[in-house]
Amino acid sequence: MFGQADYFWIFGLLLAGNVVVISAIDLRHLIIPNVLNGSLAALGFAFQITSQSSIPLTTIFGAIVLFSAFYLVRAAYLRSQGVVGLGLGDVKMAGASAVWLNPFNLPVFVFIACTAALLSLPLLKQFSEQYQQSRRLPFGPFLGLGLMVSWYLENTVQIDLAGY
């Protein structure tokens, strides 16, 4: 009925659609709804089951660790600066995104997301009236970009820092 390549493209389209909706809402309202983070995680679990016949415990552990790391960064910044620097929706999205990836590739995901966000700042300062007024950067689109690029690379060129 469906081959492995078909599932890859089906899940790729579902992932892209979810990321586009998350990005549009985050860009406009600076929030990421829980239902979208939940669907991102559910699709990731479905992908893992389809591609590997089960959900590896390392995937669940990686998602918990990444969620916790983002939450700790959020809490530390809030405590040190007295301002929320990373939204809870972003924290949840990072954890949900981790379900899609091999845990050893999570640094690639975070690197792509953070680098894209940093590189976009000059453009936002120049062209975004919303950013100029609020000084708040919607991080969801960058997490989505990092997820899509790292997931695609992981599943096509087999990037894997662990070597397996």
- What is the reported pLDDT for 111? 98
Instruction: Classify 79 as helix, strand or coil.
Output: helix
CA 77, 80, 84, 85 torsion-angle sign: negative
- What is the reported pLDDT for 133? 58
- What is the reported pLDDT for 55? 83
- What is the reported pLDDT for 11? 97
Q: What is the mean pLDDT of each run of 10 residues along the chain (164 residues)?
A: 75 98 94 98 96 89 98 97 94 98 96 96 73 75 98 81 53
- What is the reported pLDDT for 158? 60
pTM, two decimal places: 0.89
Cα angle at 38 between 140 and 70, to 5 degrees? 50
> What's the CA gap between 40 and 15, in Å, rounded?
7
Q: Which residue pairs, CB below 8 angstroms and at least 24 apart, start in 113-116?
A: 113/139, 113/142, 113/143, 113/145, 113/146, 113/147, 114/142, 114/146, 116/142, 116/145, 116/146
> What's the CA gap between 31 and 24, in Å, rounded?
10
